[in-house]
Amino acid sequence: MKKRQFIFIMTDTQRLDMINVFNERREMHTPNLDKLVEQGVSFERAYTTQPVCGPARSAIFTGTYPHTNGMLGNGMELGEYVKTLGQRLSAEGVHCGYIGKWHLDGGDYFGDGICPDGWDDAYWYDMRNYLMEMPKQDRVRSRNFLSCFDEQGIDESFTYAHKCSQKAMEFIEAHKDEDFLLVLSYDEPHGPFLAPKEFFEPFKGQRVFEKENMHIDINTLPAHIQLWANNGRKVFANEEGLGLAGCNSFVDYEIGRVLGTIENHLAEPTIMYTSDHGDSMGSHGIYGKGAAMYDEITNIPLIMMNPTWDEKNSRRHEAVSHIDIVPTILDYFDVKKPEALFGESLLSKEKTVGELKDQAFIEFNRYEVDHDGFGGYQPVRCVVKDGYKLVISLMSDDELYDLSKDPQEMDNLIHNPKVQSIRDELHDALLDWMDVTRDPFRGYYWEDRSWRENAPKPNWENHYMTRQRITEPGEVKQLDYDTGLEITEFNRKKKLY
């Protein structure tokens, strides 16, 4: 009987153009990911659901948006009723292994070292496990980029990426004759960019992230972006640019080791590859990620490959989302998507890539709960559809970009009458999405924008609806406030007094 084996590999902080074949100037060194692109299907307009580590991962592993599952920012945990992919598949008898960064337990950056329900604890290896293996002096060295260039240097066996790869290769060899889902989640190329120094050599003195939109007049940008840009940090020409490019090359090398083991031991596995978010690296005058929707932060690689598929080196240009990953993997294992999940499977009935919606939604709430910086609470909602991107920044200024004509997002069309109908259609789609997903921050203020001529008048009751959470089998049924009986309609008109 044909084995169902799914390997899901992801990195942290890798935007689409950090894979060499998607880099306009071909300045990245990613031969293994390039090969994966050549062998599979690439979604060139794939988007994160929130450009922050924890919230992005919450959608990747639950199939629900951050504003729905409770992870509004880093340092916040999933709602207790939210099930992960591992829980869902293990309940169906699928062996699930998770190796690498998790970032969903609500603790510090490194995790709590405890294997969550649904995953094989024999292979669990988050970043706390990695640090706890080291003497204190090595822990400190592992958090300092300059360790790569000191007298001792960094050997690949010292890195988190190498240790995660080793465990993944052991899992594949041990379970090659059974059905399984394996998640391999690298922290790299996220800072502190730890890698052997030879991986940085090709990028020394280079401005590999140089783009025209680095030199945009920041006074034309939304107010909160101007504040961010004026924060005084310039990154694209300093050690952070070198670090990100070099570590990006190193994690590609580590992925290549795992891909070799897959090729040697598995006959017809399906491989999916992505990253949680990107990094601005100076584009639009800003650094890092956060309360912005520019492609440098939100447009991430998403690649799928199966050796039996006829499609090779196929490039798809419809907008898709991380929210589609859980439905896709459930579909692969013939598990019905629960009603409470969002997104759609990317697979056809024949389990190859099928038709796509061309629609992705992105949000931002806050960067993290532990720190006061990074802009604090900055509610932003975004839709990418039909080649356009609409961004509503509730406490700042809105944006609209024609991505086909303006891929670097330098010409804000939000007040341009020539695209009024397109803008308003996107606006309606965004408002509908906020309703359907029970966005806790929805309200009349998202509708009442200065550029929307036919916006409804503000109304205290908003849309007059009750939108209660859908309960799943095994959960306590919710009761209707007005009758005390079990709810039969989760979305219904409110009773007005």
53 is catalytic: yes
Q: What distance in Å separates the CA atoms of residue 21 and residue 32, rounded to the nearest whole number?
A: 11
CB 275 within 8 A of CB 53: no
HEC assignment per residue over 258-282: HHHHHHHHCCCCEEEEEECCCCCCC
User: The dihedral of CA 318, 269, 337, 52: what is its sign?
Assistant: negative
| Measured CA distances, 47 to 50, 64, 137, 183 (Å) | 9, 14, 39, 19
**Which residues neighbour 370 within 8 Å (Cβ) at sequence distance 6 or greater?**
74, 75
Instruction: Give the active site residue among 29, 103, 224, 427.
Output: 103
Instruction: Give the active site residue among 29, 53, 67, 115.
Output: 53
| Measured CA distances, 466 to 324, 443, 470, 479 (Å) | 26, 13, 12, 13
Where helices occur in 230-362 by DSSP H, the ranges are 239-265, 295-298, 325-332
Give the single-character DSSP code of 149. Answer: G
Q: What distance in Å separates the CA atoms of residue 204 and residue 384, rounded to the nearest whole number?
A: 36
Exposure b/e, 35-59, CB count within 10 A at least 16 = b:
bbbebbbbbbbbbbbbbbbbbbbbb
The gap from C-alpha 95 to its chain's centroid, in whole angstroms, comes to 24
Structure tokens at 273: 């590859």
CB 46 within 8 A of CB 37: no
Which of 255, 324, 247 lies closest to 279, judged by CA?
247
Place of tokens 């950090």: 18
- Based on C-alpha coordinates, what's the Rg of the chain? 22
Helix or strand holding residue 50 (H, E):
none
State which amino acid sits at residue 151. Answer: E
State which amino acid sits at residue 110. Answer: F
Task: Please tell me whether the peptide bond between 189 and the residue prior to it is cis, using omega within 30 degrees of 0.
Answer: yes
Which of 441, 323, 424 lies closest to 378, judged by CA?
441
- Axis crossing angle, helix 239-265 with helix 31-39, rounded to the nearest 10: 50
State which amino acid sits at residue 464. Answer: Y
Instruction: Give the active site residues.
Output: 53, 103
